[in-house]
Amino acid sequence: MEIVTKRVYEPYEQSDGYRVLVDRLWPRGLTKARVHYDEWAKFLAPSTAVRKAFGHNPANWDTFVAQYTAELNKNPEAAAFAKKLTEPTLAHYPRVTLLYGAKDEKENQAVVLAQWLREHMPKK
């Protein structure tokens, strides 16, 4: 299964597959109907403290990655989600798209989460 990231403000495409919103807060200015998501996985988002410490400041990126990865490693719901991606209920989706609201497409929590999920999904 392919795991990709996409800004939640970009248009829905059928090729997105299973769409998971991975922000703790609902994205500004969007209705639930417009987001077109399959799951809102708040439990995968970084804690408020880690998110605020990052503040989308590139100088804080490495620290953010380390802190958020540590949170994911301790989060049993994150491990369960990684396992869920390989289960038959989602097997018909060729792709999982992690939706995020941040403006920076390269330095955001979805990028870190996508990499973490790739590393923690059970191997077939």
Tokens describing residue 62: 């490495």
Half-sphere exposure at residue 23, Cβ-oriented, CA atoms within 13 angstroms: 17
**Which pLDDT score, from 0 to 100, does residue 67 have?**
97
Q: CA separation (Å) from 11 to 3, 30, 109? A: 18, 12, 20
Mean pLDDT, consecutive 10-residue segments, the chain of 124 residues?
95 94 94 91 96 92 97 97 90 93 94 97 79
Each domain of the chain, given as residue ranges in start order, spans 2-95+102-120
The DSSP code for 12 is: P
**Which pLDDT score, from 0 to 100, does residue 122 have?**
84
Q: Which residues of 62-85 are buried (b: 16+ CB within 10 A; e: fewer)?
A: eebbebbbebbeeeeebeebbeeb
**Which pLDDT score, from 0 to 100, does residue 92 have?**
84
Cβ 19 vs Cβ 100: under 8 Å: no
Cα 112 from Cα 62, distance rounded (Å): 11
Count of Cβ atoms closer than 10 Å to residue 104 Cβ: 12
